[in-house]
Amino acid sequence: MLYLREDFKKAWAGKDPFQEVEKLEGRVFRAVKSRRTFRFEMDGRGFFAKIHHGVGWMEILKNLTQFKSTITGAGNEYAALIKLKELDIDTMTPCAFGTRGINPAKQDSFIITDELTGTISLEDFCRDWKKNPPVPRLKHALIRKLAQVSSKMHANGLNHRDFYICHFLLDIDGGPENVNPDKLKAYLIDLHRAQLRGKTPRRWIVKDIAGIWFSAMDIGLSKRDVLRFVSIYGKNMPMDDNFWNDVNSTAGRLYRKEFKKSPDCAFQGAFLTEKD
C-alpha cells in the first residue's frame, strides 16, 4: 500500500519511496530496534517521519504469550489519522505512507506528517496552573475540548492507548497569553499504538480516560472541573459510577507507579457523581 501527497509524488517521481525515505536525515527523536522517528526538512518545510522495520517473530510471540498486541508497522497510525480527520478531530496531517510485505515479522513501512508549528503540549501549557491558575473561561474550554475529543473517539471505535495531556499540542501561534477559548485547536498526536474497531471495548476506554486523569492530577483541577469533564463526556458516552470509579482507581495506580506516592489531590473519589 502506498500513499503520496502531490509534493512527495513530485519529489520522488520515478524513484522507490522506500529507498528515498531511508535516505532522509534529520533530528532523531526516538530510535529503537525496529522504529525510528525524526524531523527533516524538504523545500524549506518541516516534516516528521516514522520508519518501521520488521519486529521479528520472537517479539510477536513474546507479546502473544503476554496477551499484548504487537505494533508491526505504520498502518495503525495512518488508519487512526484518517479516522480522526473523518471525525473532524484536530491531529497531524499525513503526507506520505507506505507499507510492503505480507509477513508481519518482516514488514517495512513508513509514515510522514506535516510538522505542527506554533504549538505547545498541554502538559507544558498547564504545568504552572497550581501556582498561576488560568482564567476560568480558558480552563473550561480546554476541559470541554478534551472531553469532546475523548467521547467522539470512543463512540467511533477508536482508542489511543497513550492518552495523556502531553499528546495534545495546543495551537499558540498568537502567543500562549493570547489563546482564544472560543477557537481552541488541540492536535492529538503519537497514534502509533492506536486501535480502531467497530466498538471500543470498555477496558480500553478506562485506560484512555485514566491516562488523561493521571496526567492532569498535578495541575490544580477542582472536583467541579473533573465533574465538568464527566458531564461533557457522558453526553456521547454515558457511563455508570462503576466506570468512573475504575477510571479513578486506574489513574491512581498509574500515579503511584510513576511517582512512588499517592496523588496529592484536593479531593478523594474524583470521578464520583455530584450526589456523592
Please give the positions annotated as active site: 162
Instruction: Spell out the alpha helix ranges (H) of the chain.
Output: 6-11, 17-23, 57-65, 75-86, 122-125, 136-155, 202-216, 223-236, 241-259
CA-wise closest residue to 226 among 155, 166, 146, 162: 146
How far does CA 242 lie from the centroid of its chain? 25
CA distance readout (Å), 35 to 52, 63, 154, 181, 206: 5, 17, 27, 37, 28
Task: For residue 177, give the DSSP letter.
Answer: G
The answer for residues whose C-beta is within 8 angstroms of residue 262's C-beta and 6 or more apart is 252, 255, 256
Q: In what order do the strands lie in the sheet with 108-114?
A: 2-4, 94-100, 108-114, 45-52, 35-42, 27-32
